Chain A
Amino acid sequence: QVQLVQSGPEVKKPGASVKVSCKASGYTFSNHGISWVRQAPGQGLEWMGWITVNSGSSIYAQNFLGRVTLTADTSTSTVFLEMRSLTSDDTAIYYCARKPRTAAVFSDWGQGTLVTVSS
């Protein structure tokens, strides 16, 4: 079955960077894009961007342009989210999610990674 397993919780200071991983299994990795969605405490869902794994090309939401980089390692079926210049507003759970071929929805999700930004 499809599984997306994310790296563990992170605690960072303001201004730092964080890199979160999402390891995929149970499907042909290169056939599906991966999106990242975040959820601040008690808040709703916010789409951050997605990566087309077979080409490595990415699309980012305007709020994250220039501050977030998505990469993929096809040899390990892993996608990475790197976010720079963290502030307390970036404290959230970060989810990776698989995009099916037919629509830009999120059919399978990782378990989430809590990133806490605090001085």
Chain B
Amino acid sequence: DIQMTQSPSSLSASVGDRVTITCRASQDISDSLAWYQQKSEKAPKLLLSGSSRLESGVPSRFSGSGSGTEYSLTITSLQPEDFASYYCQQYFTIPLSFGGGTKVEI
């Protein structure tokens, strides 16, 4: 099974900050990585897939990069509505697996 390790588990930031979240896979997942945003008490929302492909309607301040086992999600100029938890997910192989999450707080 592929283990996904996300860091940091939480971070404090301010509106306008640039934020980067990292996800490390226990083996090469060949860009089969997605990122989700979850606001409290709500279902997650798909932000990116294929490590860097932005889903329709997702603001361009969100971007993804990486390869092999190391991936990152960057939010440039953090907005008030971006304070949430973020999860990575590998879909290279079954079982599908998520990172532990990163909570972005003020």
Give Cα A45 to B44, complex, Å.
9
Contact with A along B83-106 (1 / 0, CB 8 A): 000010101001111111100000
Partner of B99, one of A44, A47, A110: A44
Q: Determine if B91 and A105 form an interchain contact, defined as CB atoms under 8 angstroms apart.
A: yes
Q: Determine if A110 and B96 form an interchain contact, defined as CB atoms under 8 angstroms apart.
A: no
CB distance from A81 to the nearest CB of B (A): 15
Q: A106-B36, A107-B46 are in contact. Are A44 and B97 (CB under 8 A)?
A: no
Query: In the complex, which residues of chain B have a beta carbon less than 8 angstroms from the beta carbon of A59?
Result: 94
Give Cα A62 to B94, complex, Å.
10
Q: Which of B5-32 contact A (CB under 8 A)?
A: 32
Closest A-chain residue to B90, C-beta based? A104
B34 at the interface (CB under 8 A from A): yes
Q: Determine if A110 and B43 form an interchain contact, defined as CB atoms under 8 angstroms apart.
A: yes
Q: Determine if B43 and A35 form an interchain contact, defined as CB atoms under 8 angstroms apart.
A: no
Interface size class of B (residues with CB under 8 A): 20 to 34
Q: Determine if A103 and B91 form an interchain contact, defined as CB atoms under 8 angstroms apart.
A: yes
A73 at the interface (CB under 8 A from B): no
Query: In the complex, which residues of chain B have a beta carbon less than 8 angstroms from the beta carbon of A37?
Result: 44
B63 at the interface (CB under 8 A from A): no
Closest B-chain residue to A100, C-beta based? B49
B66 at the interface (CB under 8 A from A): no
CB distance from B95 to the nearest CB of A (A): 5
CB distance from A105 to the nearest CB of B (A): 4
CB distance from B15 to the nearest CB of A (A): 26
Give Cα A37 to B96, complex, Å.
10
CB distance from B41 to the nearest CB of A (A): 8
Q: A103-B32, A103-B91, A106-B36 are in contact. Are A47 and B49 (CB under 8 A)?
A: no
| Residues of A bordering B, CB below 8 Å | 35, 37, 44-47, 59, 61-62, 95, 97, 103-107, 109-112
Q: What are the 3 tightest A-B residue pairs by CB atom distance, in nearest-first order? A: A109-B43, A104-B91, A47-B96
- With A45-B44, A107-B55 known, 10 other A-B pairs at CB within 8 A are A44-B99, A44-B101, A95-B44, A103-B91, A105-B46, A105-B49, A106-B34, A106-B46, A107-B46, A109-B43
